Structure 1
Amino acid sequence: MRWMSAWLALSARSASDFVDIKNQLIPLTADWQVMQVPAGSHALPSTLSEAKSVIFPAPVPGTIASALRAAGQFDYGKNDFDELDVWYFCDLDLPGNAAHLHFEGLATHAEVYWNESLILQSENMFIAHKLDLAAHSVSGKGRLSLRFLALNTQLAQRRPRPRWKTRLVEQQQLRWLRTSLLGRMPGWSPPVAPVGPYRPIMLELQSPARIIDHRIRSKLEGADGSLEIELTLQSVHAPTACSIHIGEQEFVLNWQRLGEGQYRILGLCQMQQVKKWWPHTHGDAALYTLELSMAYGDDRQTIRLGHTGFRQIKVDQREGDFNLHVNGIPVFCRGACWTPMDIISLQNEAASLRHMLILARDAGMNMLRLVGTMVYETDAFYQLCDELGILVWQDCMFANMDYPVTDAAFAASIEKEVQQFLLRTQASPCIAVVCGNSEVEQQAAMLGQPAELWRNTFFAETLPGLCQQYRPDVQYWPSSPSGGVMPFQLDNGVAHYFGVGAYLRPLDDARRSAVRFTSECLGFSNMPDDELLDSMLKNGETPGPHPAWKQGIPRDNGTGWDFEDVRDHYMAELYQVNPASLRYTDRERFLSLARSTTGEVMAKTIAEWRSTGSSCHGALIWFWRDLRPGAGWGIIDASGKPKAAYYYLKRAMAALTVLITDEGLNGLALHVINDGPEAFEGELELNFYRQAETRVAHGRTAVKLAPHTSIKIQDYALLPHFIDTSYAYRFGPAGHDVVAAVLYQQAQQGRQGHEQAIATDFHFPQSHQLAVQADTGLQAHCSMDADGGYVLHLSTQRLAQAVSIQIPGLLPEDNYFHMAPASCREVRLSVIHGKPIKSGHVQAQNAQGSVRVAVVNGAVTGALNSVAT
């Protein structure tokens, strides 16, 4: 078999080689087959030969949906994956030193057979299993078969009714089954329920020495760090010496015999002046590698234990606050609710996962939330968040339902589930908050249940106890949202804020609601770019009420509206247009306004929450990436490409930036924010333009900010005389229609007179709807930098609104930005792996023409002529 060559190479290692903490584990990925059969029709592998079902190859790890996709038989909504039994099988020839089989995740009710013998049963897709092969007489040649029982059969069993029902799911009995709600939530999750071995299956070989249990706990106290380590070693020979390398420092460890062939290794390592781990917005995400060294006489073995970081997480909850501090510094947490990269397979391809998380980091996001409706992520996800300096808010996988935590078997299962997760991620500094569930307390309260039923003993006692035992360095929170008199109270504790959004509140509601921390907010139907639309729509179809289009539009189950209606409401407010009419009369303008609307609304709301003096300390967008192609909640489309809203948020979430807020009769406030670890010195400029072209007033001032601080500057402080900057007094026609704030960084010595624009923000005091002009004077050309990368050079004579860069095969560093009159800027373009570079264009929203950017023989060339579209 193909995995045999990997085993032979692994077995040839010398005792002095480096091995991972999961040493001697061989993934069983090849030669799997799968078939679907009627529920309950085949109880043993031997009877499958009688089935008339089609057998086809199956990727493992994966799901039945990903197997069907690989076979060209998948279509959204075509299959009910909970209706049939699914059998996976693989023929193995086990080597003589095979010791254990590891099943990292089986979704959901699964039976495992070796030939005809049942060797394992699993009823929780979030629990990993380790099977002793000798104890189950598994050896030599045989067939490993996995049966995944139809979930509908399990749901049909009679069980006690819940105390309340939720609209999130149609089948209330899901509360008894430990499986993801993905694919089972009508309205916003495509019907792709996870069924199959969605996490790796691995063969473990016998080893002279291996770690069978480990506890690693890092702690930061002031400037110093400590690492507490407790390992259980199974070894043929007793070690003669043990030590651990933490970065470049080595510490001697103690060991003691536990029993025949087992040893406990202990150590408390004290380190002075450690490098602290910070979220990337506030400093370096410093990590220390951990390597265990064991001597057996003249032989030595080194085992990699991964990495860890030293940081301190605390939350200020005084007077209803929720203010997360990292290493003693308050951090405004901003980011998104993470979604699986591929809902069909639930797999993370390494390069794509890194690309996605780098996109999040580069957008200024310093926190991602894993929501209780989905799945715990892979080890690689948390390791990359450690590396990139991204905090993680981790929900346990519970949402909205009345879970039967008093049932002994259910309670034991979910306790083991959480324990395994905490141990698996015990050394990851990225984990900041472990939350009991998503919306359980809110659901109970909204359905009129008494307060004593909102929170059960598992979320109130068991889970915080587990966190204290295994991860005392993280903050535990019982439910998202919770904290106020009502769980969904916005101005106390943690909120889910959709006032601006689903509930169609005006933009200033974000300030009036006095949100403290919103772990879920600003859900909109975000329009993707033309490239994705063209791949979806055929025969001249246009985004609209067509059923095929609406399948990709999220909605709350049971409502008479969807989130496209929400977006169009704000389009009408911002641009003073009729979206329904515009959709048919001017498709291209409708799409342009649809893209910028949600970006403008999100960015202005984030600006309110980040402003100096705001009560808000965190905002996580609902959500990161679409689960299927369309105009979903994601700010990244289903193909992995950023939408317009991503770029608006990137500017609003930047660690060093300037943001404008409208203070009514008090004019405009300019908020200069410096989250980073270095002091900032530069200048702030404020410009006012009439008819999007003529500058009618301006002012400039020097600014200095210490690390991790912000300042608020009143617009009048920059101006020589009174101007109705916010157009609040309205004594006559507005004197300007565009306001632009620009933050400059002073040049380094030796480059006198040169300054660099760090950030800009724009304000439209009347309406975002500007007159469409025949030509704004927008020009563009490309060049190559010293590293061989593409740089797009842009300039404009008049204001260019929401400048869109669309060049297939190239990803712009910034996009959908405004350009002030008589301004220029450079935008770096990176090559999208695996996609050919094609000719594209640059378009301003308020211009009739676009600028063509040509591609000749795969090379981008400049185009300076405005071409009417």
Structure 2
Amino acid sequence: MQAFLSPSVSAVDSQWAMQITASGQFSAPSALNWQAALTAQPPCTAASVYRAANQALPEPLDQHDVWFQTTLTLPEDLAFLHFDGLAGPAQIFWNDVQIGQSDTMFMRCSLPDSVFGAQRSGTLTLYFPALNSLLAQRRPRPRWKTRLVEQQQLRWLRTSLLGRMPGWSPAGAPVGPYRPVWFERRQTWRISQHRLQPELHGNDGYVRFHAHIQQTQKLKRALLHVGPHSAELSILPQDAQRSELQGELFFPEPQRWWPHTHGTPHLYTCLLELEGENQHLMLPLGETGFRSLHADQQDGGYTVYVNDVAVFCRGACWTPADVTRLYAEPDVLRQHLELARDAGMNMLRLPGTMQFEQDMFYQLCNEMGIMVWQDMMFANMDYPVGDAAFADLITAEASNFLQHTQSAVCLAVICGNSEVEQQAAMLGQPAENWRNPFFAESLPALCQQWRPDLLYIPSSPSGGVMPFQVDAGIAHYFGVGAYLRTPDDARLSGVRFTSECLGFANMPEDSLLDRMHGNGDSPGAHPSWKQGVPRDHGTAWDFEDVRDHYLTQIYQTDAMRLRYADRERYLALTRRVTGQLMEQTLQTWRRAGSGCHGALIWFWKDLREGAGWGVVDAHGQPKAAYYYLKRSMATQAAFLTDEGLNGLACHVVNDSAQTMRGTLTLRLLRLPSSTTAEVSLPLELAPHSQWQQRADALLPYFMDTAYAYRFGPVSHQVAALHWQAEEDSAPAAAGFAFPAGHVLPAESHASVALQVVDQDAQQVQIRLCSDRFLQAVHLQANDGQCSDNYFHLYPGVPHTLQLSGVAANTRLQLSALNLNGALKLAFPAEAAVS
């Protein structure tokens, strides 16, 4: 018989109804009047159902009971009904009889066919009791209290803190079936548990496999397939209903999985082939890859090595693509992850305040070569791990996740929690209370059992004399940011690896501002605007105050006065200043000789409309900060750093697996367009390496490149470093420094030429060239997206970028910080733009 993929899975696609009622008002599903219900379709939450109906969600939701119901006819061959995720403690009813419950939203809830009894048709109801009624139950008090949440007893309940963290998390706590609901049908053989572990020994790969099989027919043969290779497995019968499989597959010289910045993320399809007397099945086991992973923690550092190559880990703390629904369609998730990958991000951290992601997230990260730092879902609180029932629940939760993600080669770090150790230490707890036995012993043991290939970190941050000190171990660095330190603090603080950093209230583009407030209305102190500006709960300031502090310092203006006197100038500066600080800090950490080997921005996407921490806005559109990060995180990058009295230093980084060959050019510019020095040198840079040299070593004589000695007036206002590959006619990377500061004279006579270099149905490649230096150029297409933005244009040096979604009549508007007015750019008449 020909092998085939098992047809044993089908979604529950019936229409659901949802109601929200007063806490404790009804004790049985049949007591509700379902005629007044809203239509729902899992995966969903109560908040997403109200959003779809364009109605206001009753708030606070945790004071209400939430009910979901559907009418079902169960398949005759039903084995299990699976709920991949129920947000909030839930009770499950079949025809008014409770048949199950879920105590954690972080683990699949599965009901066997036997619980449904003889009735094969009826109503399936999910009841989510008001969370506040559960929190009101008397339980032991914590040893410390956190300001992250208002209700300290949330530490007992295994649900997300989203919607429950005042200051930065929007209202609308997740409640409901936020992951798929599906039938598993009976089949001849079912994998009840398996372990698949790819390993590298030298240049060769081995895949160890072990599985428990439930069966209705005796197994005669079992084979494991990984890519082009196969291995026969040993069958160990346990009884008539169960067998055990074990074996090892040899894979000679596999192509390795790399983070995309350092190589190709090679993957291999895994299948389990089972054969009996008259059955032959191929069961998919997902895709996996081969890579080695270890961390060097000598002298308080933390350097991640992939395939024995040191990797500077950079990226962001991930936030859900749809924070209301907590589920995103595959194409939406792909768009977000492609945006992160294209920004040079090779690691995303899932913080312990939120959720585990859906399966597709890990599959796409596998495919795209993005490493995942996975916090377990614990944050800031004193969790009752000494309670036996709670300990059993979180142990099952962790085991389930580790087993479920066995094929996720992208998974690199398991972190016990977010800020538990920091919170305890900051509140004066003795050191023995910082880390409990679950994070110190139980969880690392589970990781060793199920994923021995992963790195384990007990808490983020941790490792210093105090958990929150930044010069050892894992840090949360907000010196540049919330603590208003000058940019050189990023170097002075000796950061080694920061899993949270550079949180700013990043201003979105005008299109979102107009959508929020109407054309021409200015963001300000109005409550509706301030809702989208994050703050730490209980503080007298917010992160807009932080941003305006740096705007005032760097651009030598009064941010508050500018906001009200000149809206356009204020928006122009405020968008750029946070990206500029991020870019400068990342370059400081990536420079040769830096002790820092990782930086994850806080965070990826805004949780609501406004100037949130996200580098993309609430609708997934990049903000200015995104483009600054894209250049500073690039696989091949060139940049300048200020080394004080030692002048400027030139840096070129090649993280890629290819040799860089080309020309490096250092230019010094006296505004508006006079190059006072220009020097070029051929440069060849090996894979996974970097180069640095003092600017003074390249120039023919001393030119005070950083304007450190200040002998007389500054001779140049701009220093530029351009890297141009052999085969390219325009620089592929560039870095800039402003020795006399970022406030440049206004320019009124610039001319910018636009050339179409290449085009296809999806995008157009253009080249811009200016006769004057233009600072932080913003290019706006009326119907398209730019691959780069907020970049500097050096006189006579072309800059290449791609436009997507443009039409034949597209007009581009170019603005810059030092340009009076804006330039209108049109495509050449001979360019037939698709």
TM range (shorter): over 0.9
Cα pair distance change 1:772/1:227, threshold 3 Å: same
**2:730–2:799 Cα contact (<8 Å) kept:** no
User: Please, which moves more after superposition, 204-213 or 758-767?
Assistant: 204-213
Counterpart check, 1:24 vs 2:4: no
What pairs with 1:455-854 in structure 2 (closer than 5 Å)?
A: 455-538=435-518, 540-747=520-727, 755-780=729-754, 785-786=759-760, 789-831=763-805, 839-853=811-825
After superposing on structure 2, the runs of 4+ consecutive aligned residues of structure 1 that deviate more than 6 Å are: 835-838, 859-862
Deviation at 1:136, TM superposition (A): 4.2
Q: Higher mean Cα deviation, 37-46 or 203-212?
A: 203-212
On the 8 A contact 2:756/2:827 being kept in 1, the answer is: no
The separation in 1 between residues aligned to 2:325 and 2:782, in whole angstroms, is 27
Deviations 1:85-120 (A, max 9, x none): 011000011121122111111111110000011001
Instruction: Please give the secondary structure, in 2, of the residue aligned with 1:351.
Output: helix
> Which secondary structure does the structure 2 equivalent of 1:18 belong to?
coil
Structure 2 SS opposite 1:154: helix
1:376 and 2:356 aligned? yes
Q: CA deviation at 1:396?
A: 0.3
- 1:18 corresponds to which letter in structure 2? L
Q: Which runs of 5+ in 1 are unaligned?
A: 1-13, 748-753, 863-869
Match of 2:155 among 156, 162, 175: 175
How much does 1:371 deviate?
A: 0.2
Mean CA deviation greater in 241-250 or 112-121: 241-250
The answer on whether the counterparts of 1:288 and 1:308 sit within 8 Å (CA) in structure 2 is: yes
Residue type of the partner of 2:785? Answer: L
3-state SS of 2:804 partner: strand
Contact 2:234 2:245 in 1 (8 A): yes
- Candidates 14, 39, 57, aligned match of 2:23: 39
For the 8 Å contact 1:333–1:367, the answer to whether it is kept is yes
Offset at residue 504 of structure 1 (A): 0.5
Report whether the alignment pairs 1:201 with 2:181: yes
Matches for 1:335-414 after TM superposition, within 5 Å = 335-414=315-394
Distance in structure 2 (CA, Å) of the matches to 1:594 and 1:539: 19
Shift of 1:476: 0.6
**Conserved 8 A contact 1:133-1:139:** no
TM-score relative to the length of structure 1: 0.93
Q: Pairwise CA RMSD of aligned residues? A: 2.0
Which amino acid counterpart does residue 819 of structure 2 have in structure 1? A
Q: Is the 8 A contact 1:494 1:519 kept in 2?
A: yes
Deviations 1:725-765 (A, max 9, x none): 00000011100101100011113xxxxxx644120011011
Q: 1:505 to 1:254 in 2, by over 3 A?
A: same
Letter in 1 for 2:411: I
Cα distance in structure 2, aligned partners of 1:628 and 1:808: 24
CA distance in 2: counterparts of 1:215 and 1:716, whole angstroms? 58
Partner of 1:849, secondary structure, is coil
Query: Which residue is 1:54 aligned to?
Result: 36
Rounded to whole Å, the distance in 2 between the matches of 1:837 and 1:527 is 29
| Residue identity matched to 1:841 | Q
Identity rate, percent:
50
Judging changes above 3 Å, is the alpha-carbon distance between structure 1 residues 101 and 465 closer, same or farther for their aligned structure 2 residues?
same
Q: Is the 1:778–1:800 Cα contact (8 Å) retained in structure 2?
A: no
State whether residues 779 and 851 of structure 1, in contact with CA within 8 Å, keep that contact through their aligned partners in structure 2. Answer: no
Q: Which amino acid letter does the alignment assign opposite residue 726 of structure 2?
A: Q
* Bigger Cα displacement from structure 2, 205-214 vs 588-597: 205-214
The residue identity in structure 1 corresponding to 2:787 is E
Given the alignment, which residue of 232, 242, 251 partners 1:262? Answer: 242
Cα–Cα, structure 1 residues 272 and 232, in superposed 2: closer, same or farther, change >3 Å? same
Is 2:218–2:277's contact at 8 Å kept on the other side of the alignment?
no
Conserved 8 A contact 1:59-1:66:
no
Shift in alpha-carbon separation, 1:651–1:196, aligned structure 2, 3 A: same
Opposite residue 513 of structure 2, the aligned amino acid is L
* Equivalent residues of 1:576, 1:767 under 8 A apart: no
Deviation at 1:322, TM superposition (A): 0.7
Matched, 1:134 2:134: no
- Equivalent position to 1:185, from 165, 173, 183: 165
Offset, 1:628: 0.6
Other-structure match for 2:303: 323
Matched, 1:124 2:98: no
Amino acid of the residue matched to residue 24 of structure 2?
G
Contact kept in structure 2, 1:809 and 1:837, CA below 8 Å: no
Matched-pair contact (CA < 8 Å) for 2:156–2:384: yes
**Contact 1:809 1:836 survives alignment (8 Å):** no
Q: Distance in 2 between matches of 1:577 and 1:620?
A: 30
Question: Which moves more between the two structures, 298-307 or 782-791?
Answer: 782-791
Q: How many residues were matched structurally?
A: 833
Conserved in 2, the CA contact under 8 Å of 1:524 and 1:598? yes
Please say if residues 178 and 326 of structure 2, whose CA atoms lie closer than 8 Å, have aligned partners that are also in contact: yes
1:5 aligned residue: none
Deviations 1:315-343 (A, max 9, x none): 11111111111111111000000001111
Q: What residue is the counterpart of 2:50 in the other structure?
A: 68
Secondary structure class of the residue paired with 1:369? strand
Return the offset for 1:230.
1.2
Displacement of 1:791 in angstroms is 2.7
Q: SS at 1:533's partner residue? A: helix
Q: In structure 2, what is the Cα distance between the partners aligned to 1:837 and 1:778?
A: 19
CA–CA distance in 2 between the matches of 1:589 and 1:25?
57
- Kindly tell me: are residues 448 and 209 of structure 1, through their superposed partners in 2, closer, same or farther at Cα, counting changes over 3 Å? same
The residue type equivalent to 1:847 in the other structure is L
Distance 1:132 1:836 in 2: 59
Deviation at residue 831 of structure 1 after TM alignment: 2.4
- What amino acid is aligned across from residue 51 of structure 2 in structure 1? R
Over residues 231-282 of structure 1, what are the superposed CA-to-partner deviations in whole Å (9 max), with x where a residue is unaligned? Answer: 2222322222221221111211121212223221211112221111111111
Rounded to whole Å, the distance in 2 between the matches of 1:853 and 1:819 is: 15
Q: Which amino acid aligns with 2:479?
A: G
1:480 partner amino acid:
S
Q: Which moved more, 1:487-496 or 1:792-801?
A: 792-801
* Partner AA of 1:483 in structure 2: G
Matching of residues 101-120 of structure 1 within 5 Å: 101-120=81-100
Deviations 1:761-781 (A, max 9, x none): 110112111122223213446
**CA separation in 1, counterparts of 2:659 and 2:119?**
64
Secondary structure of residue in 2 paired with 1:589: helix
CA distance, structure 2, for counterparts of residue 836 and residue 409 of structure 1 = 65
Cα offset, 1:822, TM superposition: 2.0
Cα 1:283/1:403, change in 2 over 3 Å: same
Q: Structure 1, residues 189-234: CA drift from partner, whole Å, max 9, x if none?
A: 0012000011111111111232222211111122111101112222
Shift of 1:825: 2.3
* Secondary structure of 1:162 counterpart: coil
- 1: CA distance between counterparts of 2:737 and 2:119? 71
What do the CA deviations read for 1:628-685 (whole angstroms, capped 9, x no partner)? 1111000011111111111111100111111211001100111111111122222211
Query: Cα–Cα, structure 1 residues 553 and 522, in superposed 2: closer, same or farther, change >3 Å?
Result: same
Q: Deviations over 1:839-867 (max 9, x none)?
A: 552222211232335699xx9879xxxxx
Where 2:653 maps in the other structure, the secondary structure is: strand
> C-alpha offsets along residues 423-474 of structure 1, whole Å, 9 cap, x if unaligned?
0101211111100000000000000010000000111111011101111100
Residues 775-800 of structure 1 show CA distances to partners (whole Å, capped at 9, x for unaligned) of: 32134465761555223332211011
Q: Distance in 2 between matches of 1:589 and 1:522?
A: 23
- With over 3 angstroms needed to count, the CA separation of the structure-2 counterparts of 1:114 and 1:138, relative to structure 1, is farther
